[in-house]
Amino acid sequence: MPDFSHGAEEAKRAARAAVLARRRALDASRRADAAGRVQAGLVALVRRLRPLRMTAYVPVGSEPGGPDLPAVLHAALPPGGELLLPVLCDDLDLDWAAWSGPAGLVAAGRGMREPAGPRLGRSAVAGVPLVVLPALAVDRQGRRLGRGGGSYDRALARVPASTLTVVPLHDGELVEALPAEPHDRPVRAVVTPADGLRTLDDASGVAPHTSAGRIRGR
């Protein structure tokens, strides 16, 4: 068990630095292979659940999933399905706007790319049955290590406990335990290149599957 006795925030900073260093060390071919496998796991999930609305984000740099993740997920939605992407607010909270294609993306703070279309409000995420969100690592209790801004903790506070929340990760980023603080919000599943989709609790509405992107238990 990791030693978090020196304080959760200090432990989080050290964990972030370690994960980011490992991600930067991945070469282009390994990133591309990981992106393809992560996308396959998420696409399989979307095609099974057929949500009419879901959220995702535009991965940047070495983040899992690749920059074309929104286009791939939107294509997997049923006809009329809507993909929402985050819009970073001045106070680091998240608003949401619909994906309208790569041409509709603009550069934003913290290296993000976000849709330029009409804002739907911070509460738009509350009624979405499938939320795909980023993290640097997740532990087996669903605790998520973000980048420290608290944006997704605020967004997740608006999401019902029954919502399926899924984090794409690189291999090795699903860990035994992470430091946590009272404001941290857990997630319910991860998807990694080697293991596909793996639930971290009794995520309802998701049945075991044996193809690519199969769901594994704890």
Domain presence at residue 195: yes
CATH of the domain at 133: 3.40.50.10420
Question: What's residue 211's pLDDT?
Answer: 35
What confidence tens digit (pLDDT) does each residue in 105-149 have? 998 876 788 999 999 999 999 989 999 999 999 999 999 998 878
**DSSP codes, 148-201:** SS-HHHHHHTTS-TTSEEEEE--TT-EES-----TT----SEEEETTTEEEESS
Q: Alpha helix (H) ranges present in 50-120? A: 69-76
Domain presence at residue 3: no
Domain presence at residue 144: yes
Domain that holds residue 97: 8-216
Number of domains in the chain: 1
Question: What's residue 202's pLDDT?
Answer: 41
Domain presence at residue 1: no
Question: What's residue 203's pLDDT?
Answer: 38
Q: What average pLDDT does the structure give for the chain?
A: 87
